[in-house]
């Protein structure tokens, strides 16, 4: 159980009693490093299909990590996170010339800033609510954006809009990165995923991150200690929205197409399911959840393996999710850091 403690410097430290582990302390880092090496080697040994598949997984991992900042660390369960994902996708599609490559240095920050601005406005309003009201209001705002793009000619209406040429990074007339080249695009996604993961780890180890954990544990106590809870939550909400926008930008570039469906509540539900599968509150659980969700979906929908019943893959997927939630409350990542059972004489008195 985490206990917030106010230090002399005013920062928040989180103390936790150590627990025995089934695996050595460094096992999690070894597994994560092995997974990162495996992802880095995919372009060298995989076909274009697997290049696109694992590229999609890493994009969804960034999306899930952004939501984990809200759900796992701040205690804000949002069902409208797809709003920022989809909005950024539309920004890059609308800002790009039809038959020319847009500038990566221009469109990526623009998409993330647009998503962050939307998160700032929405967060300023929805963070005045809590519990189920917060969940439903975030859903309502996402649906408003969905119908904005679905029912108007902005962004092609219900038909969506195509991104015919992917952005490039050029400096002084020299092309450094072209997202139309699959291998370059894959490693760009890989680099951004690592940057998001390690960047958020640093942020969460800072006083700001400790404050977010304290807010999730006991918001009223944090207020009594003098913390401006609303602004801390708003900061986390905007940062999560910008990172979701980064994922939406990459998704639009990968598939070359955006439609109102990426703004729908289904997309928000999918990324929340990824967190349930992988585990919340440790960042790498979001990556594990994205990997498992996408791969299991591909497995159950494979007609080569399941024939005609593959069209009912949603039923098998639902059963799989229920079993994981019932058997592994901490998600699949909980297998890496699950505490070992203590002998009766070793258990704490409390």
pTM strictly above 0.85: yes
- The predicted pLDDT at position 46 comes to 77
Residue 133's contacts (CB-CB under 8 Å, 6 or more residues apart) are none
Q: What percent of the chain has pLDDT over 70?
A: 89
Residue 338's CB: how many other CB atoms inside 10 A? Answer: 15
Residue 310's contacts (CB-CB under 8 Å, 6 or more residues apart) are 300, 301, 302, 303
- The predicted pLDDT at position 32 comes to 84
Query: What is the rounded average pLDDT of the residues 314-325?
Result: 88
Nearest to 250 by CA among 175, 172, 196: 196
- Give tens-digit pLDDT for 115-133: 999 999 999 999 999 889 9
Confidence of residue 229 (pLDDT cuts 50, 70, 90): very high
- The predicted pLDDT at position 174 comes to 83
Q: For residues 209 and 295, give the distance between their C-alpha atoms in angstroms, rounded to a whole number.
A: 31
- The predicted pLDDT at position 272 comes to 93
Confidence of residue 8 (pLDDT cuts 50, 70, 90): very low
Query: What is the rounded average pLDDT of the residues 224-236?
Result: 93
Nearest to 249 by CA among 153, 326, 179: 179
- Give tens-digit pLDDT for 174-200: 888 999 999 999 999 999 999 999 999
- The predicted pLDDT at position 349 comes to 43
- The predicted pLDDT at position 25 comes to 53
Q: Is the pLDDT of residue 61 over 50?
A: yes
- With 0-12 CB in 10 A as exposed, 13-18 as middle and 19+ as buried, what is 46? middle
- The predicted pLDDT at position 22 comes to 52
Query: What is the rounded average pLDDT of the residues 241-269?
Result: 93
Confidence of residue 27 (pLDDT cuts 50, 70, 90): confident
Q: What percent of the chain has pLDDT over 90?
A: 56
Six-digit token string for 285:
């659980």
Confidence of residue 3 (pLDDT cuts 50, 70, 90): very low
- Average of per-residue pLDDT values in the chain: 86
């Amino acid at each position: 159980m985490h206990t917030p403690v106010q230090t002399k410097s005013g920062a928040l430290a989180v103390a936790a009693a150590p627990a025995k582990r089934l695996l050595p302390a460094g096992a999690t880092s070894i597994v994560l490093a092995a997974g990162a090496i495996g992802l880095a080697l995919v372009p060298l040994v995989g076909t274009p299909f697997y290049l696109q598949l694992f590229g999609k997984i890493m994009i969804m991992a960034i999306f899930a990590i952004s939501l984990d900042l809200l759900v796992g660390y701040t205690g804000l369960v949002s069902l409208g996170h797809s709003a920022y994902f989809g909005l950024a996708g539309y920004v890059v599609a609308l800002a790009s010339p039809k038959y020319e490559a847009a500038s990566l240095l221009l469109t990526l920050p623009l998409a993330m800033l647009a998503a962050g601005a939307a998160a700032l406005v929405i967060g300023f309003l929805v963070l005045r609510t809590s519990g189920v009201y917060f969940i439903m209001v975030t859903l309502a705002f996402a649906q408003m954006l969905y119908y904005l793009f679905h029912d108007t000619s902005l962004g092609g209406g219900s038909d969506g809009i195509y991104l015919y040429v992917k952005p490039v990074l050029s400096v002084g007339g020299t092309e450094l990165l072209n997202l139309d080249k699959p291998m370059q695009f894959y490693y760009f996604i890989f680099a951004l995923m690592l940057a998001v993961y390690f960047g958020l780890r640093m942020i969460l180890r800072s006083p700001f991150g400790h404050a977010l954990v304290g807010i999730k544990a006991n918001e009223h106590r944090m207020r009594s200690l003098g913390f401006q809870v609303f602004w801390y939550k708003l900061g986390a909400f905007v940062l999560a929205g910008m990172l979701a926008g980064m994922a939406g930008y990459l998704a639009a570039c990968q598939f070359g197409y955006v439609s109102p469906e990426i703004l729908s509540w289904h997309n928000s539900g999918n990324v929340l399911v990824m967190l349930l599968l992988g585990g919340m509150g440790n960042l790498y659980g979001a990556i594990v959840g994205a990997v498992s969700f996408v791969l299991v979906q591909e497995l159950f929908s494979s007609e080569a393996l399941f024939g005609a019943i593959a069209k009912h893959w949603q039923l098998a997927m639902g059963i799989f999710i229920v079993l994981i939630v019932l058997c592994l409350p901490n998600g699949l990542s909980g297998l890496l850091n699950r505490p070992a059972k203590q002998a009766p004489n070793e258990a704490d008195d409390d």
